[in-house]
Amino acid sequence: AQSVAQPEDQVNVAEGNPLTVKCTYSVSGNPYLFWYVQYPNRGLQFLLKYITGDNLVKGSYGFEAEFNKSQTSFHLKKPSALVSDSALYFCAVRDIGADKLIFGTGTRLQVFP
Amino acid sequence: DSGVTQTPKHLITATGQRVTLRCSPRSGDLSVYWYQQSLDQGLQFLIQYYNGEERAKGNILERFSAQQFPDLHSELNLSSLELGDSALYFCASSVNSASSTDTQYFGPGTRLTVL
């Protein structure tokens, strides 16, 4: 079965520092991976996706993610964190043979001024 | 703004009642998905419709049902509500159907509270 894991419930980082939110996946076949962000009392906003091609995927709001097949990881990164980046981040994988997304448990990112 | 709209934003009701959640997909999107977000279960896929037909089913209870209408909006019906049904219900839409790599865009959600 397809799955993703987000090993950190919370990540704390100082504003201006680089941030990484970790995600590992387990799939049979080629993985289609996604990152979404959820701000308080808001819906999920799409950040970026990996389908094929370059291992470094650039997305919205300065975020990028690095696909690593050997480590089965898809970590979300940003060179310089902003306080406004504080939110809940979800990694997801598209299920094989179906169109549904399977989500990780989420990682709360807290950026301190 | 994703372009996916959901109504109502909040719903408070009692156990045993029935409610209907409504979703309008982005213009041009044919697929609609319903997800449930709760503290204990996380984000879980419920059901997908494509151009009016049910396409995939997830962990959806028998008390729950959905449909997609000719104008492509969708409704999720929850009946015989229990306290454990309290959750945030999201609708998402995408252009295509299975075997696609299209992005799913999510609405703002409906927060259901069952008292």
The band of B73, judged by pLDDT with boundaries at 50, 70 and 90, is very high
Facing B56 at nearest CB: one of A42, A49, A99: A99
What digits encode the pLDDT tens for the residues B31-71? Answer: 999 999 998 889 999 999 999 999 999 989 999 999 999 99
Residue-by-residue DSSP string for B84-102: GG-EEEEEEEESS-TT--P
A100 closest CB neighbour out of B42, B58, B109 = B58
Tell me which residue has tokens 């279960």. B41
How much of chain B exceeds pLDDT 90, in percent?
A: 84
Question: Which amino acid is residue A41, in one-letter code?
Answer: N
Q: Band the pLDDT of B103: cuts 50, 70, 90.
A: very high
- Per run of 10 residues, the mean pLDDT along chain A (length 113 residues) is 94 98 92 94 91 92 96 97 97 85 96 96
Q: Rounded to whole angstroms, how far apart are CA atoms B25 and B90?
A: 12
| CB-based contact B88:B38 (threshold 8 Å) | yes
Segment A41-45 long-range contacts (CB within 8 Å, at least 24 positions apart) = A42/B108, A43/B2, A43/B4, A43/B6, A43/B90, A43/B106, A43/B107, A43/B108, A43/B109, A44/A90, A44/B90, A44/B92, A44/B106, A45/B2, A45/B106
Q: How far does B57 lie from chain A, in Å, by closest CA?
A: 9
Average pLDDT, whole number, for chain B? 93
pLDDT grade for B95, boundaries at 50, 70 and 90: confident
With 0-12 / 13-18 / 19 or more C-beta atoms within 10 angstroms meaning exposed / middle / buried, residue A86 is middle
Partner residue opposite B45 with nearest CB, options A32, A51, A100 = A100
Q: Identify each DSSP E strand in chain B by its residue range.
A: 5-7, 10-13, 19-24, 31-38, 42-50, 53-57, 64-68, 74-78, 87-94, 105-106, 110-114
A vs B, Cβ pairs < 8 A, gives 58
Lowest mean pLDDT among A30-34, B83-87, B95-99: B95-99
Instruction: Using the structure block, give the residue that is written with the tokens 């994988």.
Output: A93
Amino acid B98: pLDDT: 52
pLDDT score at B59: 85
Chain A contacts of B26, Cβ < 8 Å? none
What gap in Å lies between CA B100 and CA A103, rounded to an integer? 18
